[in-house]
Structure formats: structure tokens, C-alpha cells
Chain A
Amino acid sequence: MDLAFVLQVIISAILMGGVFALIAVGLSIIWGVMEFVNFAHGDFMMLAMYLTLGFFTILGIVPILSLPLTAIILFFLGVGTYQLLIKPVLKGPMVAQIVVTFGLLLFMRNMGLVAFTANFRSLPAEATSVGGLFSGLMNFHGAFIPKTKLVAFVLSLVFIILIDQFFKRTNTGMALRATAQDRKASELVGINVGRMYQLSWGLGVLCVGVGGVLLSTFHYIYPEVGLVFTLFSFIIVTLGGFGSIWGAFVGGLVVGFADVLGGVVLAPAYKFAVAFTIFVLVLVWRPQGLFGGGQS
């Protein structure tokens, strides 16, 4: 085992982890503000991936340019989903609240199968290379890093920082954090909690959408890709704490490592079991995650 190999593994894990983290942050936002878990989370990501593919193959727009478009579409999709599906079900029993997103999962995933078939697709190289700028591999002390992955990671990181700053520095961000901490108190100081819920869905789905766009530059695109990433997101958010953005980042790195190392060290199927076992242990031992806090 030489340095280059180890370096390759580590860098690969970090790059993957960053993108995983962004995907998970979306789940974390909705969970943090509303204490609601969207089981169709990954299916929005799947949608973003197909949108990216469509923008390129049909309209010729490269992902780096179609990203803002996809982001906006997904933001409104998130808001729309909240208004249409989530808001009415909040007054009902918990079982309905959970089942409604399962229904959404079934709908989105299978409509995906109907519309796109189960074939695995990928973005052609021209889409991601941006005129040769990002094509090929970068050599870092013997470790070979695909430039597209590097770009995806950097953009993920930028986005996470933006989201984090939004929450910390803007009034709306503060209002969201207040709602996450204590719903009743927020209402009492005049925060429109319904609006906050709407916004959290918009932002959450936007994040998972952007994550999906970035993921599509180096990952296969197929209708069932959503579920795996939903489960991954659960693990990441549980590790990092429901509602904590940097916690999700750390969680993403951990899962990124587990994914890459798992493929290297253990049989691929076991890594799933290991990841879930860790997840279950953390959930039981510290339900608020390693960093997160819940409703007071």
C-alpha cells in the first residue's frame, strides 16, 4: 500500500462526502425546522438529475449553467409539495404524515420508471468538461482525481457555506432557526411558522436538487437512485444531528469514507450493514445526533 493509493482513497472519500453532505443537508433543514422526515427526499434528487440530463441532451445547456435553473425549479417544487401534501397532513395523525411521503416516493420513483425506463444513464463527458477545462484527471502526488468530482465537491462546499451563512446572518435564516428551536415561542414573537415551514421545504428540496445536479456529473442516473441516497441521508443526518448543517457535513464525510473504504476493505454489501449498524447505534444512544439539538 503506497502513499498514492492511500491519498487516492482519502481524497475520493472527501469528495464524495462533500456531495453526500449537501444532499443530506436538505433533509436536515426540513427536519430541523419542522421535525418532519421526507421519505421521498432522494426522489427529488433523482428529478434534479434527470432535469440536468434533459437540459443538456435536449436544450444543450451544460450543467454548470442549468444548475441555477434546476435549483429554482426544485425550490418551487419543494414549496408546492409542502402546500399541497404536507400542510394538510400535519393536522392528521403521525401515521398519515409518514405515509404521505412514502406515497410520494412510490409516485415519483415509479413515474420515473415509466418516463425514463430503468436504464442507467450518465451525462456525456462534453457536458461536464466545460470546453476541456474540467476534463480528465488531476494528478496530486500520484493520486488521480477526476476534475469533475473536484468541481462538484468545491461547488457543494460553496453551497453549504452559503446555506450556513444564510441561516446565521439573514433575518429569515434566524427566523428559521428560531422556529427549529421552539415553535410556540416563535409564533409568540410574530414569526409566521407556516411560512417558515414552506421555506424550509423550498430550501431543503433546493439543496437536495443542487446536490443531485452535482452528483449527476459523476454518478449514474436512474429512477431508483433516490432510495439509496434517502437512506444515506438518514445516516448522515443522524450522525451529524438533525438540524445541524456542519454536522451534516461531518456526517457526509464519515459516510463518504465508509462508502469508499467499505468498497475497498469489506465486501460491498457489508458496508451497507456497517453503515446502518452505526446509524442505529447513534440513533438509540443519542437521538439528537452528535451535533444536533431538537425542539426545546
Chain B
Amino acid sequence: MKRYHYVMTMIGLFFLLFPILFKNPFFHHVVFMLFLYAILAEAWNVIGGYAGQLSFGHALYFGVSAYISTFLFVRFHVSPWIGLILGVLAAAMVGFLVGLPFFRLKGHYFAIGTIGVTEAIRAIIKEWQLIGGAVGIYIPLIPSSFVDFQWSSRIPYYYIGLAFVVSAVYANYKVENSKLGYYLRAIKMNESAALSLGINPLKYKEIAMIISCGFTGIAGVLYAQYTLYVHPDSVMAMSISIDMAIMALVGGAGTILGPIIGAAILIPLNEILKVYIGETGSLHIAIYGVIVMIVAIFQPLGIIVYLEQILRKPVGKGLKE
């Protein structure tokens, strides 16, 4: 018990002080991307890990939110903070709508369906000139401003990202230790038994979906404000959807900290591969693919299983499938 809390506190302090300890802006960038994907992986975990509905189209909610806040800011000068709220609401709503017809599908069927929806909408957005079509929307560079959610330094983005990561992890913690979490596990384990206990699967899956898509939407706005450019192939790319799921899996799907561990392993790993192998020819992605296959085969429950053994503390209830 004590060892676990000690480790957590040290890690927390480390990330809190990171920008002060390390001044290299590239490191700040990498850690920010880590935070971004940590939020995404934790978000995916709520619907993919806890509810067992394997969505491979989550980039849709990332993109919807990014587009809404960006469009409102560029066209109507609405503060991206308001854009964040609206983007999150929109992402949650779209997710809810997708869930309505699709939650009756399971496993591979659901996965294909979500891929199809996102690809279809991405194809449509590419033609929609109002929001920039295939070119997308650029956010103009402006002097640092909190209201306009833009800074010349990476540090504010870093801390905002960190804050959202903590909230995403906290959300997972709350989900796991609540009626919702118990019900989702029941539905995942044995839906007909769950039905006989008065559980409405669609209702609880939708609640999980809203939470999941909402946090995905947060990441979308963060990304938009950080890169200052949204276009269909950057914010609705299939690779985003796939990476979210991969990170949750590699770390440990269905656990509180698994997804963040997955992001913490794969993002820096990717950067290291890029440095040592070079970005030419995409060999680093091929190797990434091999690593994914290896983890999927040899430790599908995630790296967290090993950490659990080291710290000798079970890190969540959803570990067993």
C-alpha cells in the first residue's frame, strides 16, 4: 500500500516540476503529446475498456470538437474556452447518436461500424467548403492570451494538458468505483444476467460513451490550440482512433492507470524510434506495429500486470476479462 502511494506521489511531483527541471522545448513537446494521448487513451478506456465496446472511430469526436472550437474562434472570435465546452458537448452528442444504432453490435461488427461512420463523415468534411474542405482551418498566430487560449511558450499548454490528464484519470477512477462501473462490468461479462438484474445496457453504455467522447473532445480542442491547424486528415485520421485503442491495450484496458501507462510507453518509444531509425521510409512505424502485435499476443491484459506485481497492489477491478 505505502509503496504504491509513494511511487504515485513521486511521479506526480516529477511531472509537476518537469518543465522546470528540463528546459528543452522538444521535451516539453513530447510530454505534451504524451498528455494528449494519455487523455485520449483514458477516454477510450471508458467505452472500450470498461464497457467493452471497441470503438475504432473515436477520432470522429476528436475532430468534431476541434473543428467546432476552431471554427467558432476563427469566424466569430469566440474564446476557445467556450469553444471547449461547446466542442465537448458536441462530441458527446455525436457519440450518443452513434451509440444508439450501434451498441447492439458487438466485437468486430461494432469496430467496423465505427470505422465506417468516421470514414464517411471524414469524406464528407473533406468536401465541406464552409469549414475549409480538405485544406482545413488555420488558427491565426496571436500574442499570448489566456482568453484566446494561445501562448508563445509551450509551458501553459503543458500544465493545462497535465490538469486534463489528471481529470481524465480521476474520471476513470470514479467510473470504476461507481454504480456505472459495476453495471458496465456486469454487462460486459454477461449481458443476459445483467438484464435479469434490471440493468438497461443501452442506457449505461450511452452514459459511458458520453463521458468517453467528452474527454476525447477536450483533447481535440487542446490539439487544435496547440498546433493551430485543423484539417480532416489531422483531426479525424484513422491513426488517432487506432492509437487510442492500442495505448489503452498496451497499458491495460479496463484499468484506471493502464491507458496512461500505455501512452507513457508508446509516445516516447515512438520518438526514440524516430531518432534512431530515422523517419525516412516509415520503418519506425513498422517496428511500432511489431511491438503492438507482440504485446497483443503475449500480454493482452497490458503492461500494468507487471507493474502490479512489482508494486504488489492490484490496480483496479477490471483486469480480468
Contact = CB atoms under 8 A, between A and B. Distances in A.
B258 to A, nearest CB: 11
A92 B300 contact: yes
Given A106-B286, A106-B292, A98 B108 contact: yes
Interface in A106-124: 106-111, 113-114, 117
Contact of A276 (B108, B119, B301): B119
Nearest to B134: A269
Interface stretch (A62-70, A136-144, A280-288): A280-288
B113 interface: yes
A100 B293 contact: yes
A287 B109 contact: yes
B108 A85 contact: no
Interface residues of B, number: 48
Given A283-B109, A284-B113, A85 B253 contact: no
B118 to A, nearest CB: 9
B108 A103 contact: no
B126 A107 contact: no
A93 B119 contact: no
Given A92-B300, A114-B282, A276-B119, A107 B289 contact: yes
Given A93-B253, A94-B52, A114-B283, A106 B112 contact: no
B304 to A, nearest CB: 13
B44 to A, nearest CB: 10
B54 A283 contact: no
A276 B120 CA distance: 5
Interface in B256-313: 281-283, 285-286, 288-293, 296-298, 300-301
A102 B117 contact: no
Q: How large is the interface on A (under 10, 10 to 19, 20 to 34, 35 or more residues)?
A: 35 or more
Contacts of A97: 296
Given A92-B300, A106-B288, A276-B123, A114 B293 contact: no
A220 interface: no
B105 interface: yes
A238 B113 CA distance: 10
A291 interface: no
Given A94-B54, A99-B245, A100-B297, A273 B289 contact: no
B209 interface: no
A280 B116 contact: yes
Given A96-B249, A99-B292, A110-B285, A234 B123 contact: no
Interface string A63-99: 0000000000000000000000100110011111111
* B contact face: mostly helix, strand, loop, or mixed: helix
A102 B281 contact: no
A109 B288 CA distance: 12
B30 interface: no
Contacts of B116: 231, 234-235, 276, 279-280, 283
B135 to A, nearest CB: 13
B124 interface: yes
B113 A102 contact: no
Interface in B222-260: 242, 245-246, 248-249, 253
Given A231-B119, A270-B123, A88 B289 contact: no
Contact of B108 (A36, A231, A270): A36
A114 B52 CA distance: 35
Contacts of A104: 289, 293
Given A110-B282, A270-B127, A272-B120, A98 B111 contact: yes
B12 to A, nearest CB: 28
B296 A114 contact: no
B140 interface: no
A255 to B, nearest CB: 13
Given A273-B124, A279-B116, A95 B297 contact: no
Contact of B297 (A88, A117, A272, A277): A88
Which of A99, A105, A111, A117 counts the most B-chain CB atoms under 10 A from its CB? A99
B246 A99 contact: yes
B198 interface: no
A189 interface: no
B108 to A, nearest CB: 4
Interface in B80-137: 101-102, 104-105, 107-109, 111-113, 115-117, 119-121, 123-124, 126-127
Contact of B113 (A36, A272, A283): A283
A7 interface: no
Interface of A: 31, 35-37, 85, 88-89, 92-100, 102-111, 113-114, 117, 231, 234-235, 238, 267, 269-270, 272-273, 276-277, 279-280, 283-284, 287
Given A37-B108, A107-B286, A283-B112, 18 more contacts: A31-B108, A85-B293, A88-B297, A92-B300, A93-B301, A95-B300, A98-B56, A100-B296, A102-B242, A102-B245, A106-B286, A269-B126, A270-B123, A273-B121, A276-B123, A280-B116, A283-B116, A284-B102
Give 5 nearest A-B pairs by CB, closest first: A106-B289, A103-B292, A107-B289, A96-B300, A276-B120
Interface of B: 48-49, 52, 54, 56, 101-102, 104-105, 107-109, 111-113, 115-117, 119-121, 123-124, 126-127, 242, 245-246, 248-249, 253, 281-283, 285-286, 288-293, 296-298, 300-301, 321
10 contacts: A37-B108, A94-B52, A102-B246, A102-B289, A107-B286, A110-B283, A111-B283, A113-B282, A270-B124, A287-B105
